[in-house]
Structure 1
């Protein structure tokens, strides 16, 4: 084996309900969020309600900012990925599918695989010529002294050493040529599928509750390549010195302007600087200095006692989706039965200590994870990093909720290659922004039908509105600490644009354009439709494309467009960037995004509302096939496609197969899926490769 090279990863090219997921998923993932009142009751105007009186500015904006889009997408000269990397001094930093490119190039990637058809098979289905294998599954030993998994004899002690439950974000860090570390988030637990006879948190045993706490968090495991192929497998022997489990009990610390504030202080931590564990970690990112960013999403569902908090606390709790009228919300896991910190009537500030971006060093199993308050607190879906042209670190993140917002953080300091001590402080201070989108078309042309306006595109301009910079708040009536702890309330005050569940946000490493997955929003009415969210009752979602001024991630103004409005191609409300809809795959509910080395966009779905299993899709974002969506794989019954991760050499794509068999009525005695081993369904990370060694998608 070659000598390990820490700090360098493979730059990966990167109940009643109104939603489309199965009710079982709704219950355990987000506490039936869609069945509750919408948390954002602000009177922010949908930007379609804003009179764009200054339409005369449109020409100037197009001549300025849009010029960058023409250069990125319209030029005929082809810049190869190698050229783009050479132009980008940060490109060789860690990636996880989200390399910090400056975007010096043009994505004209060709895709040549035969699409997989929609299906409901209980299998991971891949295109002709490809193979797949499970890399690691729930319960597999992570630490060397972990016992073998025993479904009917689980313990919290064992689970804390084994691979956790539902897997989501994945990233890869090389250790020489054919070894690597794999980081995986463990978003949430489904106790109905984990334990025989489980009904709810009231009747669960204390050991079952402790197992669930241990099954949250994340895992770091060592992998090795199989021969010269694109297949990878888990290392199961030897020292495995980097392997690690992070759980809901792992000691962590706060950094940034809100660290030490009264809002984060509790009886257990009167300093407001230490916290135990992380919860509901969904997507994430990696930093240019080789660490993982993992994001706490639907953390609100784990707490009880909201009715017993001081009256002054209740508006903020409501804004974050916590009931202030019920002592114990229906379906709650009742973590408070084994740890009273989850009871807000006793510890009202404990919930403020969740909802952050957490940084973890995969190369140091003894390091203390860090929660960065400077990046704000909300239901973080992703923390994708890149570098501004002047070297400042930029982090994009969506707030996964109906009518929530898109955010960006820009560091005060600049990245210095090789200066690890300096770089580790970059996420502690900077400016946090929220996005406002304005459309180019008259309001009357955006009627919620999905019909294109007369100018032929859903597009417009936008700005990043500053919320806070260091200890300085830009939000009247709120301190810097309040803005960071109650970021949703701050964004409400400045008039940010309400979006259709903003999830993963990724920057194209070839062009520099930024893409946001808007998963769905069945609650948007025709009157609430706007040009950035153009379809009412949007159960299939869409993808947004942003080109920042000067193609600089540090800019505060941008142009935007909607290249993809998802659904059945036969549905007139769908749009595939103008491509022939008879030649595309149906796609529903975009969630996670990634890019390959040619700048093609890869889209993982969550909650397919077309009756098929979820899957992974690929779409060129420029050239003659812009908008041609093709399905690359489908996941088993009841599962969601997470990840995805395409390696730098292009030979492998990793996908996290989350919650297989999560279908109402399923139990361990009557499973809805038996993937991957023919027995109980087990959330797993799988890898796909071409059997003849070709690049993924070629």
Structure 2
């Protein structure tokens, strides 16, 4: 069935049909049989490959604890009517782990290196996880929760729930995370949310920064010379009650306990989202 014939997308003319498809994109994908993915978030095109001629796309898949959670798997209805989050899809090649707590990153290469291609090759760039986890492997055998992050020493760059994804002008991949941010439970070994830098050729990963408690790291850009980086810190102290907004965090006020004289105490205060400006002490390119 063409989408224009689907009652959820019918319209008086092509413009109305297109508008409904753009607004209800996930439903439209269900209707045409798209692969159900584990919470896709950001996508990014890798620059500086073959003089910008190669088309390589990366996408973060944050997590999906419902994947493989039912003995009788269920998919979204083909007419696009299923409410988001109600399906219990089986594992598949692109989403191979049941109870995918830590997420993964997938990579596509367009046929003919053309953005107009209708076919592509793909692989799993990384499966995130906790190399020191004490969790029992999933009974299905599809998930040991450890992942395959390339770092040295092992575990020094463990991260999960990949969300923000951005390539800088030098071709390095920066990944930002969005998990609970409280360094508890499944995150006790990994810690708070963070941003890592990854070499897309080798997968070698280094932790670059860690967020304040209960904050998400989201948004990143650089000046053209690469010597100044801007990183967003969102909702620090999330889940604090209105009666005690400073329960989990006082960031950024907690960064400056004293005035510039080094003596006069400064008051703390409720947490605020903000943007961090990062430079190197030697004035060089950030991340070099």
TM over 0.5: yes
SS of 2:64 mapped into structure 1: coil
Distance in 2 separating the partners of 1:596 and 1:664: 34
Segments of 5+ residues of structure 1 without an aligned counterpart are 1-314, 317-375, 377-469, 473-477
Residues 555 and 692 (structure 1 numbering): CA distance in 2 closer, same or farther, change over 3 Å? same
2:67 matches 1:524: yes
Distance in 1 separating the partners of 2:37 and 2:153: 26
Segments of 5+ residues of structure 2 without an aligned counterpart are 1-6, 50-54, 74-89, 134-143, 254-267
How far is 1:584 from its partner?
A: 4.7
2:160 matches 1:598: no
Residues 666 and 640 (structure 1 numbering): CA distance in 2 closer, same or farther, change over 3 Å? farther
How far is 1:615 from its partner?
A: 0.8
Residues 651 and 537 (structure 1 numbering): CA distance in 2 closer, same or farther, change over 3 Å? same
Distance in 2 separating the partners of 1:557 and 1:676: 47
Equivalent pair of 2:240/2:246 in contact (CA under 8 Å): no
How far is 1:671 from its partner?
A: 3.3
Residues 564 and 633 (structure 1 numbering): CA distance in 2 closer, same or farther, change over 3 Å? same
2:273 matches 1:683: yes
> What whole-Å deviation, never above 9, does each CA across 1:160-191 have from its counterpart, x for those lacking one?
xxxxxxxxxxxxxxxxxxxxxxxxxxxxxxxx
How far is 1:510 from its partner?
A: 1.5
How far is 1:664 from its partner?
A: 4.5
2:42 matches 1:504: yes
> What whole-Å deviation, never above 9, does each CA across 1:393-434 have from its counterpart, x for those lacking one?
xxxxxxxxxxxxxxxxxxxxxxxxxxxxxxxxxxxxxxxxxx
> What whole-Å deviation, never above 9, does each CA across 1:589-642 have from its counterpart, x for those lacking one?
1000111233121100011541311111011011xxx12221100111111001
2:176 matches 1:633: no
Q: 2:159 pairs with 587, 601, 623, which one?
A: 587
Equivalent pair of 1:592/1:642 in contact (CA under 8 Å): yes
Return the index of the structure with the highest Cα Rg. 1
Q: Give the structure with the higher percent helix.
A: 1
| RCO comparison, higher one (Cα < 8 Å, 6+) | 1
- Aligned residue number for residue 616 of structure 1: 195
Equivalent pair of 1:656/1:686 in contact (CA under 8 Å): yes
Query: 1:83-162 counterparts in 2 under 5 A?
Result: none
Distance in 1 separating the partners of 2:158 and 2:240: 25
Aligned alpha-carbon RMSD (Å): 2.7
Distance in 1 separating the partners of 2:93 and 2:66: 16
How far is 1:576 from its partner?
A: 3.4
Equivalent pair of 2:177/2:216 in contact (CA under 8 Å): yes
TM-score of the pair, normalised by structure 1? 0.30
> What whole-Å deviation, never above 9, does each CA across 1:466-497 have from its counterpart, x for those lacking one?
xxxx938xxxxx94444334333322111001
SS of 2:28 mapped into structure 1: helix
Equivalent pair of 1:524/1:536 in contact (CA under 8 Å): yes
Distance in 2 separating the partners of 1:576 and 1:666: 40
Moved over 6 A (4+): 577-581
Q: How many residues align?
A: 224
Query: 1:370-389 counterparts in 2 under 5 A?
Result: none
Distance in 2 separating the partners of 1:658 and 1:579: 27
Distance in 2 separating the partners of 1:577 and 1:568: 9
Equivalent pair of 1:671/1:681 in contact (CA under 8 Å): no
Distance in 1 separating the partners of 2:251 and 2:245: 15
Distance in 2 separating the partners of 1:600 and 1:669: 37
> What whole-Å deviation, never above 9, does each CA across 1:126-173 have from its counterpart, x for those lacking one?
xxxxxxxxxxxxxxxxxxxxxxxxxxxxxxxxxxxxxxxxxxxxxxxx
2:128 matches 1:566: yes
Residues 556 and 694 (structure 1 numbering): CA distance in 2 closer, same or farther, change over 3 Å? same
How far is 1:569 from its partner?
A: 2.5
Distance in 2 separating the partners of 1:499 and 1:646: 30
Distance in 1 separating the partners of 2:209 and 2:151: 21
TM-score of the pair, normalised by structure 2? 0.70
